[in-house]
Amino acid sequence: MESLIRQLIADSMEQEWPALLTREGVLGEIPEMATVLTGMRRTGKTYRLFQRMRKLLEDGVDRQRILYLNFEDERLGSVDADCLRLVDEAYMRAYPPEGGAVSYYFFDEIQYVTGWERFVRRLLDRRDVRIFLTGSSSKLLSREVATSMRGRAVETRMFPYGFREFLRARELDVPGNPDMVGRKQRAIIEHAFREFLHIGGFPAVQGLQERDRRQVLQGYVNIVVLRDVVERHGLTGIAALRYLTRRLLAASACHFSVNKFYNELKSQGLKCGKDALHEYLQHLEDTFLFAGMFLDTPSERRRMVHPRKMYAADHGLVWACVPPGNHWGEGRALEQAVHTELLRRGYEPRYGLTENGYELDFVVVGPDGQRLAIQVCADPTDPATRERELRALVDTENSTERLLITLFTEDHLDVADQTIPAQPAWKWFLTAEES
């Protein structure tokens, strides 16, 4: 094992990191704490590590002070914390730090090492090491990081590409000021945004033909269900789980009730208890494949009584998995994309109900405590549609800011002595906002 570890360390020093699309967002880095990247499979966690390593080199860090190891390497087999101890000792012997220099350890797929938490906590007591970790979402969940690291880790969640990254992946210019865009550039951006709504943001599917893209994205869903849910939790008789997954994809950006789904299963002749369905739903959320959104209310009882709205990890997954002819369309895709962007910006979005029972797509609260109510409407030119979408915004509290996000329409709409700003989605997505 020692000779293998020395070889892996030597290989790491020779490894060339690929030129990458720079991902947006800052990694959470706090002295004496490990930086942990979580998120659904294939969102780019490993490449985000490479990006951070390249930045260290640009900042003048010696190449020998950066160690990257992927513990999914089949040569390692089954390893435990003693393997990590050997890695640390062999690395320090081969490349001893000079003058108190800091060493940077990048450990990918750390969940394959039994007992890794104790080793990392011990290493963090030293002041000459910074640690970066990633792992599949099935083994490195947010709550597990908090428990195993005992407050010694800061988590950064990875998402698929946002629209700004989508543009850069296509080598299209990202306007510095979205309000100052000429007609020609606007047409290019609008065309790209419509593509973004259909392709989604997973890095590996950019540039693929539709048939290949659908197969790849369907494969993502299958591997999450089979490996991150079924294998991890030892589930058997997974017909109900697969049906639940398909149902959630078809109902993305819609309300979902376990009780109603339970009755739906019975009508299909599938037997599964309500408790099991609740567990399946939690497992799927743990893998980041889906995210649930609660009603915005201070009442815990009211929050739990009302059904949650469910959203997939990316709208591209829905297009790939839901058969043609379903109600899923650009309007739902736009709402789904807005939800993901709100999470990316660090919000905890909820949906709202006004005093008169009108539903708000999203309610978020900024760091300053300011509330923002958002309605998503792809095409507000139809009078009936516009009235339906705007009545909820008009019915909100006066202290709440209001915004209507559309596909391409930009206007200020006068309704019931109030003015509601309507902003095209591409412009809202390109408006920089720190998370």
Checking if the pLDDT of 267 tops 70, the result is yes
Which tokens go with 73? Answer: 């390497």
pLDDT tens, residue by residue, 17-50: 887 899 998 898 998 899 999 899 999 999 999 9
Which domain-ending residue is among 157, 172, 202? Answer: 157
Residue 67 lies in a domain: yes
Last residue of a domain, one of 128, 157, 186: 157
Work out the percent of the chain whose per-residue pLDDT is above 70: 97
252 and 132 within one domain? no
Residue 74 has a pLDDT of: 83
Note the pLDDT of residue 282: 93
- 299 and 384 within one domain: yes
pLDDT at 137: 60
Q: Is residue 169 part of a domain?
A: no
* DSSP type of residue 151: T
| DSSP-derived secondary structure letter, 43 | S
Q: In degrees, to the nearest 5, what angle opens at C-alpha 428 toward C-alphas 426 and 434?
A: 125
For residue 267, give both structure tokens: 């009508």
pLDDT at 435 exceeding the cut of 80 = no
Residue 343 CB contacts under 8 Å (≥ 6 apart), including other chains: 157, 159, 291, 349
Going by pLDDT thresholds of 50, 70 and 90, the confidence category of residue 127 is confident
For residue 435, being part of any structural domain is answered with: no
How much is the pLDDT for 64?
97
- Tell me the mean pLDDT in the region 278-289: 94
How far is the C-alpha of 136 from the C-alpha of 227, rounded, in Å?
A: 10
Q: Is residue 168 part of a domain?
A: no
**pLDDT score of 103 more than 70:** yes
Q: Of 133, 157, 181, which residue sits at a domain end?
A: 157
Residue 282 placed within a domain: yes
Residue 251 in this model has a pLDDT that exceeds 80: yes
CA atoms of 391 and 418, how far apart (whole Å): 11
pLDDT tens per residue across span 237-248: 899 999 999 999
> Same domain for 350 and 405?
yes
Instruction: Give CA–CA dist 318/169, Å, rounded.
Output: 21
pLDDT value, residue 434: 44
Secondary structure element (H or E) that encloses residue 283, with its range = helix 274-286
Do 104 and 229 share a domain, yes or no?
A: no
- 416 — pLDDT class (breaks 50, 70, 90): confident
Residues 309 and 240 in one domain: yes
User: What pLDDT was estimated at residue 143?
Assistant: 64
Do 321 and 251 lie in one domain? The reply is yes
In the predicted model, is pLDDT for residue 1 greater than 90?
A: no
| pLDDT, tens only, 54-88 | 999 999 999 999 999 998 888 888 888 899 999 99
The token pair at 130 is: 């910074």
pLDDT of residue 138 exceeding 60: no
Q: What string of DSSP letters covers 56-106?
A: HHHTT--GGGEEEEETT-TTT-SEEHHHHHHHHHHHHHHS--STTPPEEEE
Q: What is the pLDDT of residues 305-340, one digit of tens each?
A: 999 999 999 999 999 999 877 778 999 999 999 999
For 378, the domain range is 194-430
Burial call 247-273: b when 16+ CB within 10 Å, e when fewer: ebbbbbbeebebeebbeebeeeeeebe
Q: Tell me, yes or no, whether 188 lies in a domain.
A: no
Please answer whether residues 158 and 134 qualify as being in contact, where contact means their C-beta atoms are separated by less than 8 angstroms.
Answer: no
**Non-local CB neighbours of 426 within 8 Å, separated by 6+ positions:** 163, 178, 189, 190, 192, 193, 408
pLDDT at 144: 66
Find the mean pLDDT for residues 248-259.
96
Domain assignment present for residue 171? The answer is no
Task: Answer yes or no: do 147 and 257 share one domain.
Answer: no
Same domain, 139 and 257: no
CATH number at residue 108: 3.40.50.300
For the chain, what is the domain count?
2
86 and 208 share one domain: no
Q: What is the mean pLDDT of the chain?
A: 92
Q: What is the structure's pLDDT at 79?
A: 86
Handedness of CA 310, 316, 322, 326 (dihedral sign): positive
Residues 270 and 407 in one domain: yes
Tell whether 202 and 151 lie within a shared domain: no
Which one-letter amino acid corresponds to residue 162? G
Structure tokens at 192: 């790209």
Per-residue pLDDT averaged across 203-211, rounded?
Answer: 96
Contact 333, 197 (CB under 8 A): yes
Same domain, 233 and 365: yes
Report the distance separating Cα 341 and Cα 335, nearest Å: 10
Confidence of residue 357 (pLDDT cuts 50, 70, 90): very high
